[in-house]
Amino acid sequence: MINKNDIFTVEITDQDELGQGIGKVEGFPLFIRHAVMGDVAKVCVTKVKKTYGYGRILEFIEKSEFRTDPACPAYKRCGGCQLQSMNYEAQLKFKQKRVEECLKRIGGCDELHMESIIASDMTLRYRNKAQYPVGTNKNGNPVCGFYAERTHDIIECEDCLLSPKEFGSIVSQILKWMKQFNIKAYDERTGKGLIRHIFIRKGFTTKEILLCLVINGKKIPYTEVLRDRLESIQTDEFHINGLSISENTKRSNVIMGEKTEAVYGKPYIEDYIGDIKYRISPMSFYQINPGQTKKLYDKVLEYALLNGNETVVDLYCGTGTISLYMAKKAGKVIGIEIIPEAIEDAKVNAALNNIKNAEFYAGKAEEVLPELYDGGLKQADVVVVDPPRKGCDETALKTIVDINPAKLIYVSCNPATLARDIKYLKEKGYVLEKTAPLDMFPNTTHVESIALLSRREIDSK
């Protein structure tokens, strides 16, 4: 019988999708945070369920060969980098195995042509975006950092090691400005206070910085002082394009408000993926690891194998990042996205690059596509989907099947929903040709995947 507060010596023999170590005591599974496969540790049981339990490490008896010292001092408290105690080679194997197991177990894909995971050249300082919640510490001073796992308690951390170092310098100046002028941080419990979040995004090629303060109000004071301080820390490595504010007065967990406007300077930055230029605003979807994004889009092009005559339909096209990248190789690209503002950004990005063979439509795919077919669209040779973590809903999948493309390229940030959707598509006559995992998010459990499916040719005899 296993009880809370029991202490056992446990060997970690596996890890779950959250990165937790798994070990068994008398056949009873324990999930243990910060444990790495191969560790042997003295573990205290913290919670017991009917068929499994949780534990925490008291001390190591033998450390795994895959274990490494986390670089970040906030690692255990923050919870954002679940795999930072694993060496990078082990992280890649963990992610490759996770994608493979999901496709087999959920997707029913017994035979897989899976390429080796595409590693990231940078494992630290690779993020081009950060959103810092702002709060107040016990001394009454403004602080920011990241929420502790499963809470809204802020772990103070101005310099996240996944983000560019200049982000920490910018955050530090904002906190000093708040303290000097007694500008209050937002308090979720009371709904009072002004500064809610600090949003920063960097163009790694252009070195432009987009800075936006999410506020519980309509304006901020002493903007001239803040502007001077921010300009004083600029270097050859970064230039702050301007300062914007996003009004969010709602009592909710949503970060950005519906309205964003520039206080000074430009409310956007520009950056490149390959030779395609993109204009990026605070609300724009833009992949967070620029080096890996190019590898991802190059793999999409490789799978599409375009000859310059095809019609490509890009569902969930967002601001047109994949659409425009493919347009240089395709005959025609049609991007569809439900968010009108994203479609406007996509059109701006097409104009920036003088791309004439890309069209963008706002609306649901199942509504827009029939209208396009009625208007003369004859065939979609390739369909690309890059849905959110929840995957494609069944209506969207049915629409894809109705379009009947020869090739379908599915870009996914969630192996489980990718596998679920592939199972549906297989039942409707598509074959999974090959897949490639890609590590977009080193030191975390998240993994990107690209899958190529083709329409099964049915013998009419």
Pair 154, 144: CB distance under 8 Å? yes
Strand 53-62 vs strand 28-32: parallel, antiparallel, or unpaired?
Answer: parallel
Dist CA 445 CA 369 (whole Å): 35
DSSP state of 183: P
Catalytic residue (choose from 78, 144, 392, 413)? 413
Count Cβ atoms within 10 A of the Cβ of residue 387 and give its class: 0-12 exposed, 13-18 middle, 19 or more buried.
Answer: buried
- Taking the C-alpha atoms of residue 315 and residue 380, their distance in angstroms, rounded to an integer, is 12
- Residue type (1 letter), 49: K
Which residues have C-beta within 8 Å of that of residue 211, sequence separation ≥ 6?
170, 198, 199, 200, 230, 240, 241, 242, 243, 244
DSSP letter string, 106-136: TT---S--BPPPB--S-SSS--SEEEEEEEE
Q: Is position 160 annotated as part of the catalytic site?
A: no
- Phi first, then psi: give them for residue 368, nearest 5 degrees: -70, -45
Q: Name the residue with tokens 């310098």.
A: 169
| Residues annotated catalytic, as ranges | 413
